[in-house]
């Protein structure tokens, strides 16, 4: 692909500082890093993945409303964090995180543990304790 052929399909990156880096051949035949604002096939794949995440979040939210799970599971899924990743970010063992997905265990968490989760998920403790509207 040549430098002037690098896709610039604005969708997800519009108004963002995040961009893709692609490598293309310049006029001298040398590879060069070129900033891209997106690419339709990649955007379509992101749409499909985000739809799947949204469906999973809706299912988890329903379980939270039924008292079968805690808001922690919802917020982790919304932030694309599985138990292992959440453990890596918080330093809390995976086994404990799985227990904290149970509403009765989540309700008993101390402020320090809640703060660790909130920081890792980039939300406030108040937001962590409930589902969004």
- Nearest by Cα to 72 from 98, 35, 41: 98
Q: How confident is the model at residue 5 (pLDDT cuts 50, 70, 90)?
A: confident
pLDDT for 90: 97
Residues 99-123, mean pLDDT to the nearest whole number: 97
pLDDT on residue 16: 61
Domain-wise residue ranges, the chain: 3-38, 42-128
User: Is the CB of residue 76 less than 8 Å from the CB of residue 82?
Assistant: yes
Architecture of domain 42-128: Orthogonal Bundle (1.10)
Q: How confident is the model at residue 21 (pLDDT cuts 50, 70, 90)?
A: confident
Rounded CA separation 57/34 (Å): 35
Q: What pLDDT is attached to residue 115?
A: 98
**Looking at residues 16-42, what average pLDDT do you find?**
81
Contact 77, 85 (CB under 8 A): no
């Amino acid at each position: 692909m040549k430098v002037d052929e690098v896709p610039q399909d604005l969708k997800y990156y519009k108004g963002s500082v995040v961009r893709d880096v692609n490598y293309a051949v310049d006029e001298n035949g040398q590879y060069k890093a070129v900033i891209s604002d997106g690419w339709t096939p990649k955007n379509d794949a992101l749409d499909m993945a985000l739809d799947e995440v949204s469906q999973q979040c809706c299912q988890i939210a329903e379980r939270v409303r039924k008292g079968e799970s805690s808001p922690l599971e919802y917020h982790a899924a919304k932030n694309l964090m599985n138990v292992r990743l959440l453990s890596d970010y918080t330093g809390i063992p995976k086994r404990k995180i799985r227990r904290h997905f149970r509403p009765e265990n989540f309700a008993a968490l101390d402020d320090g543990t809640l703060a660790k989760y909130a920081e890792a998920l980039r939300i406030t403790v108040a937001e962590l304790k409930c589902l969004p509207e």
